[in-house]
Structure formats: structure tokens, C-alpha cells
């Protein structure tokens, strides 16, 4: 329900969303991954998931495994 509301409110707008849940950022056009206050990765959710050894990919993999 919250995800749908976010999609509606953010449609066709630029917004900075700070999230700890990967389910929140999956609707983003662009994701910046921060570590210790620095950008360590930048791309679409699909691009970041596809990166071997990437921080976002590792977080995504752990999240998917936690759902099983």
C-alpha cells in the first residue's frame, strides 16, 4: 500500500528518497549506494543487481534469500 502511494506521488517528479529497504528503491530510475558517506555505486536497480561483486547486488541477493 505504501509502495503504491509512493509510486503515485513520485510519478514524473524528481525526488531524493533515502531508504534502508530495497523494496523501496526498486521503483527508482537511479540509485546511489552510499558507504561511509561516499557514493560507491550508481545506476538503475537492474544495472546494480547485474554487477558482479557490487554492494547493491550483494544486498539484493541477501534480501531475496531472506524472503525464501
- Model-level pTM greater than 0.75? yes
How many domains does the chain fold into? 1
Does residue 41 contact residue 51 with C-beta atoms inside 8 Å? yes
Q: Is the pLDDT at 6 greater than 80, yes or no?
A: no
Rounded average pLDDT over 6-28: 82
What residues contact residue 22 under an 8 Å CB cut-off, 6+ apart? 59, 60, 63
- pLDDT tens digits, 16-25: 888 888 888 8
Domain of residue 21 covers 2-67
- pLDDT tens digits, 44-64: 999 999 999 999 999 999 999
Does residue 3 contact residue 23 with C-beta atoms inside 8 Å? yes
Kindly provide the b/e burial profile for residues 38-50, where b requires at least 16 CB atoms within 10 angstroms of the residue's own CB.
Answer: eeebebebeebbe
Amino acid at each position: 500500500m505504501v509502495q503504491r502511494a509512493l509510486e503515485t506521488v513520485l510519478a514524473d517528479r524528481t525526488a531524493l528518497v533515502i531508504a534502508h529497504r530495497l523494496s523501496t528503491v526498486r521503483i527508482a530510475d537511479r540509485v546511489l549506494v552510499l558507504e561511509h558517506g561516499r557514493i560507491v555505486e550508481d545506476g538503475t536497480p537492474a544495472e546494480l543487481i547485474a554487477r558482479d561483486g557490487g554492494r547493491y547486488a550483494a544486498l539484493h541477493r541477501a534480501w531475496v534469500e531472506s524472503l525464501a
